Amino acid sequence: MLIVVTDGEPADIDMRDPQCLRYDTRKAVEEVGRDGVVTYCMSLEPRADNYVSRIFGQKNYMVVDHVQRLPEKLPMLYAGLTR
């Protein structure tokens, strides 16, 4: 299992196209999935719903609107994923 905690969209210093960066990230998620790794994303960006579901899948992400709630949400997420 891989839990990705992120503060925003994929970014790279030598690639500016956001669509390409999202595509590359989605491909990486698919590749590790073929090896049996389940990925889940916890995003700290309130508007992440716009892109994170396309990268990780409809049921494999959570948006935490306020970083102050991270200590509360992270243990709950882990408990829910490991049952």
pLDDT digits (tens, 9 = 90+) for 53-71: 999 999 999 999 899 999 9
By C-alpha distance, which of 47, 30, 41, 44 is closest to 77? 41
- For the cut 90, the answer to whether the pLDDT of residue 3 exceeds it is yes
Statement: residue 37 has pLDDT above 90 = yes
Q: In whole numbers, what is the pLDDT of the chain averaged over residues?
A: 93
When comparing pLDDT for 16 and 60, which is higher? 60
Percent of the chain with pLDDT over 70: 100
Residue located via tokens 């500016």:
16
Instruction: Report which residue type is found at 10.
Output: P
Which residues, other chains included, contact 5 with Cβ-Cβ below 8 Å and sequence gap of 6+? 41, 42, 43, 44, 70, 74
Q: What is the mean pLDDT of residues 22-42?
A: 96
Would the pLDDT of 75 be above 90?
yes
Q: What is the pLDDT of residue 48?
A: 93
